[in-house]
């Protein structure tokens, strides 16, 4: 693997620095006994590290802080003898489009037990298909965010619902601190299985997984080496797959303008998986080679956004390449396919399996050596991992050409792929695997974060993640990742995070005050008192309307207001009268500070934040439960 550029290393280091600021904020809340804000900050930190590579795939320091906060000196035990024949499935959010939600409802459809579902952080409508799956099993669905706001209360509510089940299966987002907290509340609970659908990225929850359920064996090395999961707590259960029935293929073929005699290869993947990465050409280069060598072939790419590369190919190969972007239902596109063409340079595991179940031959290119940090992005799922795969674009083109020319070979290869996938992803094979998973989970003691080591940093892996998509990586502000918190990202968090981000700059904080300050005596004198108390604050006041160039009236009014707080223009804080908005030489709060008490409360909270002072973050000590 090529060494990352200095630019990539710099961005990765800055990402890590900003991540550590959020972790530090979480640890401060833990020290203060503020469990609610600890959970909120933990969620934000995990959401940042999941989305923005920081060189970690887990953070057991952060997990210990959360676990010690909710567990205190109590203990957690697993009751593996429960036989209520109920399974509790936990999701953060469910989507009508998205693989992990489909995985959950397919799991429930195959399991003969009653399945209940808990949503810990649902922001949009609950997909009707998920609701139907719960009802069909005889279970219930609980939307915690709809009825419970504080995260700590959601954790307690989730733990109470766990008491109804034999086994708990977590299909949660990588940021789900509620599930981690609930699993670690003291007392007896059922065994917990963590379904590892984000196996290549950071996630929070190692300490919430009695048994980790990988969907493919390729994740094992990352689990042990970069997450710190004990080898004996890892199992593999292939994701449940079902065919996507549709009869719209012929109509879609006519709608797109595909020639009647074409052999159609379909790809269903995310746009970023088809972009150039790690020095590898993107999917458009592979498709160019296929179309050149196979005149009979037409390629339809679901998820590929039309761009200049695809436009050039469309001009070179008229009516033979169709990037159709993201669609709500990919089933009709599978229906028009003769071949499933996996995406490159990253494979799309779920879609390839869905194509195979329909009896389509699967053609794929995997050219990364097993030692490459990105190898997992090209590793196949169970069932497909034993089938032939091309190791170069030339070999892929030859394989696809053979399939395009020979309908009998397509049929034979399609049946081979279907049988291999169904044997592990459906029917008795999958049910036996699920039963074995449940039994293993019942047999292990509760995961204890204090038995684990520390999460290792892997800068090479982090750099590889940064270089996905080929564009120059950029760092991101943690405040961009507060979405899952919604209104829970309150002024306390907002100001503490801002203080942490600003503290190393060394410049004063500059605020520009909105006009009419001269008519709001009580508000302005409070501002002046704050400025006198906090030397790091610089206040910029606009001149009064129609004042002269010397600001005579403005100075006179300011002098009056300063006198009300026992100050003069000679001994006050850093107060400046300026005709225009000052330059951005100093750190500035965006826009003008409105003349409201809330604005001053926020400013005061910012200036008083303990996050102005740096504190080393270490593993949380054992302590009594935090007050809630």
Tens-place pLDDT, residues 497-516: 999 988 876 667 889 999 99
pLDDT in tens, 140-168: 999 999 999 999 999 999 999 999 999 99
pLDDT confidence of residue 587: 55
The angle formed by the CA atoms of residues 121, 126 and 128, to the nearest 5 degrees, is 155
pLDDT confidence of residue 308: 94
pLDDT confidence of residue 588: 61
pLDDT in tens, 477-495: 999 999 999 999 999 999 9
pLDDT in tens, 115-141: 999 999 999 999 999 999 999 999 999
CB 239, CB 215: distance < 8 Å: yes
pLDDT confidence of residue 3: 53
pLDDT band at 626 (very low <50, low <70, confident <90, very high): very low
Q: What is the mean pLDDT of residues 330-337?
A: 92
pLDDT band at 53 (very low <50, low <70, confident <90, very high): very high
Give bridge partners of residue 167 from the DSSP assignment. 87
pLDDT band at 627 (very low <50, low <70, confident <90, very high): very low
pLDDT over 90 at 246, yes or no:
no
pLDDT band at 237 (very low <50, low <70, confident <90, very high): very high
What separation in angstroms does the CA of 16 have from each of 21, 27, 526?
9, 16, 38
pLDDT in tens, 550-602: 999 999 999 999 999 999 988 898 999 998 877 655 456 777 899 999 999 99
**Helix/strand/coil percentages in the chain, nearest 5:** 45, 15, 40
Q: What is the mean pLDDT of residues 382-400?
A: 94
pLDDT in tens, 98-118: 678 989 999 999 999 999 999
Distance CA 45, CA 19 (A): 6
- Domains located in the chain, CATH noted: 6-71+453-475 (no CATH), 76-242+432-451 (3.40.50.2000), 249-425 (3.40.50.2000), 490-612 (no CATH)
Q: What is the mean pLDDT of residues 57-82?
A: 96
pLDDT confidence of residue 362: 97
Quickly count: other Cβ atoms within 10 Å of residue 150's Cβ: 14
pLDDT in tens, 392-449: 999 999 999 999 999 999 999 999 999 999 999 999 999 999 999 999 999 999 999 9
Supply 162's token pair: 């766990």
Containing 601, the helix (H) or strand (E) segment is helix 597-608
Distance CA 301, CA 400 (A): 16
pLDDT confidence of residue 584: 57
Eight-state DSSP code of residue 206: G
Q: What is the mean pLDDT of residues 252-270?
A: 94
Q: Which of 577, 583, 534 is nearest to 552 (CA)?
A: 577
Quickly count: other Cβ atoms within 10 Å of residue 124's Cβ: 9
pLDDT confidence of residue 410: 97
pLDDT over 50 at 620, yes or no:
no
pLDDT confidence of residue 87: 98
pLDDT confidence of residue 58: 98
pLDDT in tens, 161-196: 999 999 999 999 999 999 999 999 999 999 999 999
Eight-state DSSP code of residue 332: H
pLDDT band at 615 (very low <50, low <70, confident <90, very high): confident
Q: What is the mean pLDDT of residues 226-231?
A: 96
pLDDT confidence of residue 380: 92
- Residue with more model confidence, 551 or 251: 551
Percent of the chain exceeding pLDDT 90 equals: 83
pLDDT over 50 at 624, yes or no:
no
pLDDT band at 621 (very low <50, low <70, confident <90, very high): very low
pLDDT band at 65 (very low <50, low <70, confident <90, very high): very high
Q: Which of 382, 300, 305 is nearest to 338 (CA)?
A: 300
pLDDT confidence of residue 623: 36
End-to-end CA distance of the chain: 49
């Amino acid at each position: 693997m090529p060494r990352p550029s200095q630019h990539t290393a710099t961005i990765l280091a800055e990402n890590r620095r900003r991540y550590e600021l959020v972790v530090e904020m979480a640890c401060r809340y833990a020290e203060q006994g503020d469990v609610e804000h600890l959970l909120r900050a933990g969620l934000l930190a995990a959401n940042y590290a999941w989305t923005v590579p920081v060189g970690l795939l887990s953070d057991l320091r952060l997990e210990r802080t959360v676990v010690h906060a909710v567990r205190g000196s109590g203990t957690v035990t697993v009751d593996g003898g429960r036989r209520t024949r109920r399974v509790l499935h936990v999701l953060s959010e469910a989507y009508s489009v998205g693989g992990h939600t489909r995985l959950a409802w397919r799991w429930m459809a195959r399991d003969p037990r009653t399945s209940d579902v808990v949503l810990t952080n649902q922001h949009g409508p609950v997909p009707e298909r998920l609701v139907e799956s719960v009802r069909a099993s005889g279970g219930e669905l609980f939307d915690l965010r709809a009825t419970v706001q504080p995260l700590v209360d959601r954790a307690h509510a989730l733990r109470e619902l766990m008491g109804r089940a034999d086994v708990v299966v977590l299909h949660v987002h990588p940021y789900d601190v509620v599930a981690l907290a609930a699993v670690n509340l003291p007392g007896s609970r059922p065994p917990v299985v963590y379904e590892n659908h984000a196996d290549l990225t950071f996630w929070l929850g190692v300490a919430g997984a009695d048994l980790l359920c990988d969907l493919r064996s390729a994740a094992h090395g990352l689990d042990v080496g970069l997450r710190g999961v004990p080898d004996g707590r890892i199992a593999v259960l292939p994701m449940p797959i079902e065919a996507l029935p549709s009869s719209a293929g012929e109509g879609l073929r006519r709608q797109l303008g595909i020639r009647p005699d074409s052999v159609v290869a379909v790809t269903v993947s995310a746009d970023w998986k088809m972009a150039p990465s790690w020095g590898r050409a993107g999917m458009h280069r592979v498709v160019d080679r296929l179309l050149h060598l196979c005149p009979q072939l037409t390629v339809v790419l679901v998820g590929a956004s039309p761009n200049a590369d695809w436009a050039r190919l469309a001009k070179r190969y008229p009516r033979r390449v169709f990037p159709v972007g993201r669609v709500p239902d990919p089933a009709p596109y599978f229906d028009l396919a003769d071949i499933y063409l996996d995406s490159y340079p990253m494979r799309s595991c779920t879609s390839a399996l869905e194509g195979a179940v329909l009896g389509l031959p699967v053609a794929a290119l995997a050219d990364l050596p097993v030692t490459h940090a990105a190898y997992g992005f090209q590793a196949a799922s169970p069932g497909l991992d034993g089938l032939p795969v091309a190791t170069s674009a030339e070999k892929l083109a030859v394989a696809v050409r053979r399939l395009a020319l020979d309908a009998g070979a397509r049929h034979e290869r399609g049946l081979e792929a279907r049988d291999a996938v169904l044997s592990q992803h459906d029917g008795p094979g999958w049910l036996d695997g699920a039963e074995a998973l449940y039994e293993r989970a019942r047999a292990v003691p509760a995961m204890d974060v204090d038995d684990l080591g520390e999460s290792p940093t892997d800068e090479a892996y982090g750099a590889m993640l940064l270089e996905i998509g080929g564009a120059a990586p950029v760092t991101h502000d943690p405040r961009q990742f507060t979405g899952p918190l919604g209104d829970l990202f309150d002024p306390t968090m907002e100001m503490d995070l801002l203080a942490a981000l600003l503290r190393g700059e060394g410049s004063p904080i500059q605020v520009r005050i909105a006009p009419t300050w001269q008519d709001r005596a009580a508000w302005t004198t409070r501002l002046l008192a704050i400025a006198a108390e906090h030397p790091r604050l610089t206040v910029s006041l606009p001149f009064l309307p129609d004042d002269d160039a010397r600001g005579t009236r403005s100075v006179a009014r300011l002098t009056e207001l300063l006198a009300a707080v026992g100050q003069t223009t000679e001994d006050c804080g850093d107060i400046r009268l300026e005709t225009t908005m000052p330059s951005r030489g100093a750190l500035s709060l965006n826009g003008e500070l409105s003349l409201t008490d809330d604005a001053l409360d926020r400013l005061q909270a910012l200036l008083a934040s303990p996050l102005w002072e740096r504190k080393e973050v270490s593993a949380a000590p054992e302590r009594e439960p935090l007050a809630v």
